[in-house]
Amino acid sequence: QVQFHESGGGSAQPGESLRVSCEASTVPNGRFEMGWYRQAPGKQRDMVASIASDSAIPDYGDFVKGRFLLSRGPSQRHIELQMNNLQPDDTAVYYCAMKTWSNIYWGQGTQVTVSS
């Protein structure tokens, strides 16, 4: 079982920035992906940004449009998502997640609210 320590998030006005961080309790021996997903009320959960353990290049959801940056380090267990130029549509619960070949593990989520 993987557990996560999520931090960051909170409230911002349109155009401002926030950062969310996630540290996993452990990582598997094989390939895995670690990233952030988000879910707004009444909507499906979408991938925001994710990076594979054997890659240095993150994948981003189409809606990110160059505004967010996912970084990894200082270990494979730690990722950070820098969110710039936030908009009201970015309001959601943001979940840290780890996908292995057989499972997906979810953090408990952190709220991001963007409003003026």
Do residues 32 and 100 touch, judged by C-beta distance below 8 A? yes
The strand pair at 92-99 and 33-39 is best described as antiparallel
50-68 pLDDT, tens digit each: 999 999 999 999 999 899 9
15-49 pLDDT, tens digit each: 999 999 999 999 999 999 999 999 999 999 999 99
DSSP 8-state symbol, 102: S
Do residues 60 and 68 touch, judged by C-beta distance below 8 A? yes
Q: Reduced to 3 states, what is the DSSP secondary structure of residue 18? A: strand
- Of 82, 81, 83, nearest to 96 by C-alpha is 81
